[in-house]
């Protein structure tokens, strides 16, 4: 569905929190880059990669929850089936 400036999304109310989380993740990724530059021990780097992945998963789950609660709950039954299919495709790409 195309974006429109006057439409609220499931994450609109928590946009500030999402932005804060994403900035923190961005900092973690920069930290990993620094660890690589410094030739840090592989298990330490991998631990940080796992932390970034977990943080991104939390963001993704929050977005999915907002989509279900806001968009799908208020959609028409006909549109809900299409939105369910779209969400499942997106979640499938997420867990690959």
| Token output for 49 | 């990669």
Instruction: Say what the pTM is.
Output: 0.79
Q: Would you state the pLDDT for residue 9? A: 83
CB atoms within 10 A of CB 33: 10
pLDDT, tens digit, 9 for 90 and up, residues 27-46: 999 999 999 999 999 999 99
Superfamily of domain 15-95: Metal-sensitive repressor, helix protomer (1.20.58.1000)
Q: Would you state the pLDDT for residue 3? A: 58
Alpha-carbon distances, residue 7 vs 2, 68, 93 (angstroms): 10, 16, 25
Q: Would you state the pLDDT for residue 6? A: 63
pLDDT, tens digit, 9 for 90 and up, residues 62-82: 888 888 888 888 878 888 888
């Amino acid at each position: 569905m195309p974006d429109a400036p006057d439409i609220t999304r499931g994450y609109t109310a928590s946009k500030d929190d999402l932005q804060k989380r994403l900035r923190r993740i961005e900092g973690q990724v920069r930290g990993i880059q620094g660890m690589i530059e410094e030739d840090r021990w592989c298990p330490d780097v991998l631990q940080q990669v796992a932390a970034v992945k977990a943080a991104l998963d939390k963001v993704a789950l929050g977005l999915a929850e907002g989509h279900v609660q806001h968009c799908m709950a208020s959609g028409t039954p006909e549109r809900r089936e299409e939105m369910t299919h779209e969400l499942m495709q997106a979640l499938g790409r997420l867990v690959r």
